[in-house]
């Protein structure tokens, strides 16, 4: 391993690693990203796909979908109890024509104050993880959350809250048109894949796809291409489980390989 790779790994706290042989690495990679072995994404659960107020808002939308319309809708959203105590909504930040879309859980206290996703210690770790694969905020990267308002006490969002924001997230994806999506943590995985039963670890190291036809968003442009998804751990989890940082880095290496294959396709 060259010195630069050692340096970027050190930035996310990885100083122990086992080098794999090239032959094994390539075989494993081909097995993971080969189109023939893509896993089937389960259908959305009823409590996620229900006709929430946010669904009705976008069904009744008169103007073409654009950032101004979407931002106004999110800022004025009163679809769940999270709107009652928020200081501000956290829509997202970054390049509006990204290659990468990172979707996190929901705002914490600092995000609620600043109106930006992934600030504080989790944000610093995410920045270092991005650096480890040659990325940085705002440069071909957009960062959003599955839920736009802070849950009380920084608890995980419940299913009804994820459902209330789901069409807003899908609207963002439609506008951004990223080349790949990284689901950061359990909540993002539920919002994107519609499955709240499968442990996050079961989705790691898999080439998943965001299937537009899984959802009932009639406002979306027709015939949009599927988008690759890679699932990984949330930085707040990694701060509590330091040994799993290497797994998160491996997930992003997989995402890079998928994206490179797509670009060279």
pLDDT at 240: 93
What phi and psi values does residue 34 have, to the nearest 5 degrees? -65, 135
pLDDT at 65: 77
β-bridge partners, 228:
209
pLDDT at 209: 86
Q: Helix crossing, 245-264 with 120-132: angle to 10°? A: 50
Q: How many domains does the chain have?
A: 1
Share of the chain above pLDDT 90, in %: 48
pLDDT at 3: 57
Joined tokens for residue 176: 């951004």
CATH number at residue 70: 3.40.470.10
Joined tokens for residue 121: 């210690």
Higher pLDDT, 48 or 224: 224
**Residue 233 above 90 pLDDT?**
yes
Over residues 112-137, the pLDDT tens digits come to 999 999 988 999 999 998 988 889 99
**Residue 9 above 90 pLDDT?**
no
Distances (CA, A) of 227 to 46, 136, 198: 23, 21, 21
**At 180, is the secondary structure helix, strand, or coil?**
strand
Range of the domain at 223: 3-264
Q: Contact, 228 vs 122, CB < 8 A?
A: no
Mean pLDDT in residue range 74-100: 93
Q: Distance of alpha carbon 92 from its chain centroid, rounded? A: 11
pTM, to two decimals: 0.79
Joined tokens for residue 262: 């797509």
**Residue 59 above 80 pLDDT?**
no
Q: Distance of alpha carbon 150 from its chain centroid, rounded? A: 17
pLDDT tier at 195, thresholds 50, 70, 90: confident
- Report for 61-75, 140-154, 197-211: range of highest mean pLDDT: 140-154
């Amino acid at each position: 391993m060259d010195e630069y790779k050692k340096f970027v790994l050190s930035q996310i706290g990885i100083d122990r690693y086992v080098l794999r042989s090239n032959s094994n690495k390539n075989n494993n990679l081909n097995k993971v990203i080969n189109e023939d072995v893509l896993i089937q994404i389960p259908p959305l659960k009823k409590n996620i796909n229900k006709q929430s107020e946010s669904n009705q808002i976008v069904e009744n939308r008169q103007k073409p979908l654009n950032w101004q319309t979407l931002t106004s809708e999110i800022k004025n959203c009163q679809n769940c109890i999270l709107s009652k105590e928020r200081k501000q909504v956290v829509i997202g930040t970054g390049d509006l024509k990204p290659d990468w879309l990172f979707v996190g859980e929901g705002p914490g206290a600092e995000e609620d104050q600043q109106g930006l996703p992934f600030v504080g210690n989790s944000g610093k770790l995410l920045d270092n993880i991005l650096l480890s694969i040659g990325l940085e905020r705002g440069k071909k990267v957009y960062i959003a959350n599955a839920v736009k308002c802070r849950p009380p006490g920084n608890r995980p969002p419940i299913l009804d809250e994820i459902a209330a924001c789901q069409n807003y997230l899908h609207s963002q994806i439609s506008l951004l048109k990223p080349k790949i999506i990284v689901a950061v943590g359990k909540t993002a995985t539920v919002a994107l894949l519609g499955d709240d039963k499968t442990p996050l670890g079961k989705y790691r190291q898999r080439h998943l796809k965001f299937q537009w036809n899984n959802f009932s968003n009639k406002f979306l442009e027709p015939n949009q291409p599927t988008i690759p998804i890679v699932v990984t751990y949330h930085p707040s989890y990694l701060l509590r489980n330091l040994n799993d940082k290497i797994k998160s880095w491996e997930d992003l290496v997989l995402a890079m390989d998928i994206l490179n294959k797509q670009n060279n396709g």
